[in-house]
Amino acid sequence: MRATRLLLGVAALLWVPWLIATTVDIDARSWRIPAAVAFLPYVVVLTAVVLVVAALLRSRAAAIGALIGLVVLGIPRLGRLTHDDQPAARGPIVTIATGNVLVGHADPTFLARLVRGEHVDLLAIQENTPEWDAAARRAGLLRTLTHGATDPDPRPGAAGLALWSRWPITRLPAAPGDHRSLGGLVNVPGAATPVHVRSVHPPPPFNARNVPCWKRCTRAFRHAADATGDALLVGDFNATLDHHPIRSLLGDDGFRDAAEEAGAAWRPTWSNGSWATLTIDHVLATRRIAIEGVTVHDLPGSDHDVVVARVRLPR
């Protein structure tokens, strides 16, 4: 029994390293830190289980430790489960979708049907390839999205991007330090101003070489909010809402996460085919844009799901 209580006490404090990693920006010290932070929701659930077991075994110390963990890690994230109040936008409703096509392996015909069924106005694609780009056009993906900016990568890898729109796009260059986005100004009828939309895909932070670029590129995306009135960042951020780089984009003078605003941030968007599922695909909107709703859809052939967000622009 003593060994059981000792093990329970250790488990009750398992949350402490995650509290440190999410409070202090130490991502650059090791790629293992952002990799671990990605699994923070699992730590919260495990801490809740430890609390229940500790209560059943009447282990007061372990119960107190687990309860503190739930308070400091769980309560601040409860807002991701509820729909937040939105700004009083009175402009047109726009439907945005984003999908990572897994270096061209996703089913373009399925995605074309989804785009038509959801009445998508703006579509951001990551890991675009010349072959997939051509297949998507043959599948009728661009039947309604007649304007676009594409950058399919012919090289082996996952750098290709695309942004397709129902309305004209004026392409804009990326900000200094941003090597992993593609976008421009979209003229939406009835909106107050053209909207700056970017399809983004910073590298995954799961090796030492990628972490600096992941941090630098993600933080550079903020330029879209600083440079224009209304902006949308859409894509595979390779980051959850607990990672420091994406949190640097959020705030009163920056962006809001559409899924978090809609109470849908608990929905995972990526899976490697095992138990591990993460929410790393996002639609970020600046403060004047109201979030109407967010849904997540399976994408055959890809390890990512499609995120669809409906937003209302200011007029």
Cα→Cα distances 27→37, 62, 250, Å? 9, 29, 18
Q: When comparing pLDDT for 70 and 229, which is higher?
A: 70
Rounded Cα distance between 160 and 176, Å, is: 19
Query: Which of the residue ranges 17-31, 193-207, 241-255 would you say has the lowest mean pLDDT?
Result: 17-31
What is the reported pLDDT for 228?
Answer: 67
Residue pointed to by tokens 């996952």: 158
Round to whole Å and give the CA distance between 104 and 237. 18
60-69 and 40-56 helices cross at what angle (nearest 10)?
150
Question: Which among 177, 178, 196 is positioned nearest to 188, based on CA atoms?
Answer: 196
Is residue 156 over pLDDT 60? no
Q: What confidence score (pLDDT) does residue 154 get?
A: 58
- What's the pLDDT tens digit per position in 82-135? 888 888 888 999 999 999 999 999 999 999 999 999 999 999 999 999 999 999
Q: Average pLDDT in the 26-34 region?
A: 82
Distance between CA atoms of 263 and 174, rounded to whole angstroms?
Answer: 31
Contacts of 231 (CB under 8 A, 6+ apart): 195, 196, 197, 198, 224, 225, 255, 285, 286
Contact 37, 18 (CB under 8 A): yes
What average pLDDT does this structure show over 35-63? 91
Spatial separation of the C-alpha atoms in residues 48 and 50, rounded to whole Å? 5
Single-letter amino acid code for the residue at 269: T
pLDDT at site 198: 95
